[in-house]
Amino acid sequence: MITTIKKYSFGAHAPTGAVTAQVEEGDTLPYFSVQAEGQGTRFRCPLEKDDVVYGLGETMRGIDKRGGRYVSFNTDNPHHTQDMPSLYGSHNFIVVDGKKTFGAFFDTPARAVFEIDCGGSGEVNVLCERGVTVYIVEGESAHAVVRRFLRAVGRSYLPPLWAFGFGQSRWGYKDERDIRRIARGYAKAGMPLDYICMDIDYMDRYIDFTVNKKRFPDLKAFVVEMKGKGVRLVPIVDAGIKVEPGDPVYEEGVQKGYFCKNIEGKDFCAAVWPGMTHFPDFLRPEVRAWFGRQYKVYTDAGIEGFWNDMNEPAIFYSEYTKGKGGERSEGDPLYRGNTFLSDYRNFCHNIEGKEVNHWEVHNIFGANMTRASAEGLDALLNGRYLLFSRSSYIGAHRYGGIWTGDNASCWDHLRQNVLQMPSLNMCGFLFSGADTGGFGGNASRELLLRWLAVSAFTPLFRDHASKGTRPQECFRFRGKKDFRSILSLRYRLLPYIYSEFMKAALSFDMYMQPLAFGYPQDARARRVEDELLVGESLLIAPVLEKGAKGRRVYLPEAMTEVRWDGASFSARQAAAGEHFVKVPLGEVVFYIRKGKLLPVGGAAMHTGECDLSAVTLLGDGEEYEQYLDDGLTRSVSEDNIRLLRRQG
């Protein structure tokens, strides 16, 4: 029983599975006034002038959420503008940090609206449109509140070591020749690579759990071939099952009644990539078990990594909306991003024998797809696997990671990547990252290099781009030395990155934090949002502006400044305060906190060549506790710690 958290119920809702700990029911909700509104409840909490509000995971704007309106309603929307209220995930946890510091998790699978000092209102105003359970988390600091919340929602998913390597992806890799060409390009350029993602073109007519035999005549042999080069294959799996008589997955799903029903009680039909599809009713345990078993077609071929997509669920049009514009018509007032929102009222789930409209449980659909995949892979594989998803809800972090969706090749989205990482960590999603270089649009050489310098520190490190954009593989750009420099840095940092991720997961902590969490008494640190703490030792201050030769860096205390130039590390002492630091393209500058150490390893072309135990220690600390295991088995423990001591 966690005594620092209490829950308060307002109406009924389907279980989300977000909170796994035992929590007492409270009497009267503190901090918030409560008012019934329609079928839901509105909550208001006054804010002090200097309060900071953290959280909300995958949302736009800053780390401090004051001044914004955020709508938890998972949406396939590639338009990531600052005023966009909804993205792919719903992470309804906030932390108010000020004279009173507490956390509040609004656990509801339906739509919720957060207005946080919106228009200068001076309050947090939350409308939950249906039933909600509110969890209040007490703590002496914002960081303490987050750690208690993370313990309540359960331990992060643990990927294998190879998942921390660099991955290359693109919508448009069609066949074995394309993938061989990519692997060969990286190898010839001397750039490390651990995996290549296969987007929808590997499938037979975009049908889940199929492989196009003309493009991949012997997938199992191809997997063996690529693993021999140190490269794994990571296929995409979408949420919809094509209406395809004769397809065994479709036939079994229909026969056993595993698909969501339309408002007439028949299997709901909606168009996604393969055409008309049915959606598995992932909220039912037997359906999750069935769907998870389908991954056997891949695991039998030796595949150990997957990414789930289109699981908000994305709907291009349906049997109900095709006549209202249909086929992604942006002129329709019901159209948002890539989806007709009205379709979310046109199908239903069966929850413990009760029919529930999808609108009531929309935000947990994708999370339950991730759960289905993870539970299936747990049964199919003996070790750890890579799994990340687009749509999510708090609790899905126990089953897989997430990427932040279809961003664009622009400087604003590079900055947003930095701002989102700590907010996602607060909500449990430690294994996360953005499409490095941007998915939509044409990444310039400068933008891609600066983005690589950020992603070199995020757990999920993948370059991904859309069909029709400029080729974005690192080896295609001039001045390959600069790209080789940053990619090789990632592999030298793996002894630290892997250790800090595992320690954070096992101790219910964050891997990436706002500066203010490490320096809560520093008023300036509370305002800095473009610098992050990475693990216990590092501070990063990446260059985020086009044409910049460097940037201003604020250090709350004296630190060791480390510069990587592609060949070696150099270090110098940097005083507390503000500095202008020059950072040429291809170089990376970061900081080791006072009294801390950083273990760095040697060069490698993939993680199979990494020896995480052979390290050099940088920094002015005396000791570092390194988590070290085989990176593959599920036998993980805090006992896998070795103490490293600085020599001399």
User: What positions carry a catalytic annotation?
Assistant: 309, 312, 406
Residue 109 to residue 74: CA distance in whole angstroms: 10
**Cβ contacts of residue 404 below 8 Å, gap of 6+?**
58, 87, 88, 417, 420, 424, 432, 433, 434, 435
Contact 395, 312 (CB under 8 A): no
Q: Which two tokens stand for residue 301?
A: 């071929």
DSSP for residue 313: T
**Tokens found for residue 322:** 């095709």
The C-alpha atoms of residue 585 and residue 483 are separated, in whole angstroms, by 9
> From the CB of residue 345, how many other CB atoms can be counted at a distance below 10 Å?
14
Judge whether 586 and 487 are in contact, CB under 8 Å: no
3-class DSSP string for 363-400: HHHHHHHHHHHHHHHHHHCCCCCEEEECCEECCHHHCC
Give 45's DSSP letter: E
Contacts of 523 (CB under 8 A, 6+ apart): none
Residue 141 CB-density burial (10 A; 0-12 exposed, 13-18 middle, 19+ buried): middle
Chain center to CA of 437: 16
Residue 449, SS3 per DSSP: helix
Q: Which position has the token pair 């190879």?
A: 162
